[in-house]
């Protein structure tokens, strides 16, 4: 991302307005549309003194976004966190880490959906590669529906190095793989967990698979044997949530 970023869509704009109003330079609204719930955004923008600008539909097309819902926020880039920063914060808070690792997922809509699920599941950080997967574009932000404002997203130079770093801190690394012998619903209870989701076609890369402490699968009982990456990741995330609630893990 550059120093400025465009956040498109009603939900995404509302969330960034709630979480980072000082980072918003302006909110642009299409002047020929009726936008649902825009009143909430206008009220909040007034409260935080965020400028509102009205533009014709052509402005949004020139900004490079067709599915904008008639609203966009021009936002300064979030402060970047490192994996070491997050691990230090977790130690200070004395809580068990919960991580989602995306191994070269290339569809920005899958990345955005997984970030949204991670935010809902209380994940401490989402790790993804700087190269090889979908970049953190406005399409990812829009699909996350504001989720990027509620979870730390870290682009790492090397996924395998990041997994090694997590394991040294006692994080149990589990990879989703269709060929795994162990079911998601039989996974061992652990305090700190990193869930690794592979890309849409090949799944986990070989070295990433070998770096996992355990491979787990989602049992399939119907006529098809595979799920969309974001759906599979969401199922696995909330099974981890269920187990952590049952065990009283925070």
Give the pLDDT of residue 37: 76
Low-confidence ranges of the chain (pLDDT < 50): 1-2
pLDDT at residue 68, as a whole number = 64
Question: What is the reported pLDDT for 64?
Answer: 62
* Residue at token pair 């935010």: 119
Q: Are 87 and 65 in a shared domain? A: no
Q: What is the DSSP string of 4-42?
A: EEEEESHHHHHHHHHH-GGGEEEEEEETT---TTHHHHH
User: Does residue 121 share a domain with residue 228?
Assistant: yes
| 27, 13 Cβ separation under 8 angstroms | yes
**133 plus 193 within the same structural domain:** yes
CA distance 159 to 88: 19
The predicted pLDDT at position 31 comes to 86
Asked if residue 30 and residue 144 are part of one domain, the reply reads no
What is residue 186's predicted lDDT score, i.e. its pLDDT?
A: 87
- Which of 76, 100, 125 marks a domain boundary? 76
Q: What is the pLDDT of residue 53?
A: 93
Give me the number of domains the chain comprises.
Answer: 2
Q: Choose one of 76, 102, 137: the last residue of a domain.
A: 76
pTM above threshold 0.75: yes
Question: What pLDDT shows up at residue 60?
Answer: 78
170, 218: one domain: yes
Residues in Cβ contact with 143 at an 8 Å cutoff, skipping those fewer than 6 apart: 108, 109, 111, 112, 113, 116
42: CATH: 3.30.1330.30
User: What whole-number distance in Å separates Cα of residue 106 and Cα of residue 97?
Assistant: 26
Are residues 110 and 64 part of one domain? no
**Tokens found for residue 39:** 């009143």
Q: What is the CA radius of gyration of the chain?
A: 19
What is the Cα–Cα distance from 71 to 123, expressed in whole angstroms?
Answer: 28
- pLDDT tens-digit profile of 2-45? 456 888 888 889 999 999 999 999 999 988 777 777 889 999 99
Q: What pLDDT is attached to residue 65?
A: 58
**Residue 48 and residue 27 in one domain:** yes
Residues 89 and 166 in one domain: yes
Q: Which residues of 43-58 are buried (b: 16+ CB within 10 A; e: fewer)?
A: ebbeeeebeeeebeee
Check whether residue 39 and residue 108 sit in a common domain. no
Domain that holds residue 36: 4-76
Q: Are 214 and 182 in contact (CB under 8 A)?
A: yes
Within this chain, do residues 110 and 190 fall inside the same structural domain, yes or no?
yes
CATH number at 96 reads: 3.40.1280.10
Same domain, 96 and 51: no
In angstroms, what CA-CA distances link 125 with 44, 81, 130, 140, 206?
Answer: 28, 10, 15, 16, 23
Question: Which pLDDT does position 87 carry in this prediction?
Answer: 93
Residue pair 65/8 in contact by the 8 Å Cβ criterion: yes
- Whether 39 and 113 map to the same domain: the answer is no
The phi, psi pair for 197, rounded to 5°, reads -115, 130
Among 60, 76, 92, residue at a domain's last position: 76
């Amino acid at each position: 991302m550059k120093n400025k970023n465009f956040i498109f869509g009603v939900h995404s704009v509302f969330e960034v307005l709630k979480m980072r109003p000082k980072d918003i330079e302006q909110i642009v609204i299409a002047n020929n549309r009726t936008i649902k719930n825009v009143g909430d955004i206008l009220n909040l923008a007034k409260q935080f003194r965020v400028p509102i600008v009205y533009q014709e539909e052509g402005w949004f097309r020139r900004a490079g976004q067709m599915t904008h819902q008639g609203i966009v926020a021009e936002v300064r880039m979030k402060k970047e966190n490192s994996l070491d920063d997050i691990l230090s914060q977790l130690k200070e808070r004395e809580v068990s880490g919960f991580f989602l690792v995306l191994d070269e997922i290339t569809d920005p809509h899958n990345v955005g959906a997984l970030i949204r699920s991670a935010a809902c599941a209380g994940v401490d950080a989402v790790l993804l590669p700087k190269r090889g997967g979908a970049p953190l574009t406005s399409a990812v932000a829009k699909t996350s529906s504001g989720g990027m404002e509620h979870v730390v997203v870290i682009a790492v130079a090397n996924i395998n190095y990041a997994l090694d770093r997590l394991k040294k801190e006692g994080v149990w690394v589990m990879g989703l793989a269709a060929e795994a012998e162990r079911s998601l619903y039989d996974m061992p209870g652990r305090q700190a967990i990193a869930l690794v989701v592979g890309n849409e076609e090949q799944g986990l890369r070989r070295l990433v698979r070998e770096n996992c402490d355990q491979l787990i699968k989602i049992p399939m009982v119907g006529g098809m044997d595979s799920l969309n990456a974001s759906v599979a990741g969401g199922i696995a995330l909330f099974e981890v949530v269920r187990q952590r609630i049952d065990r009283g893990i925070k």
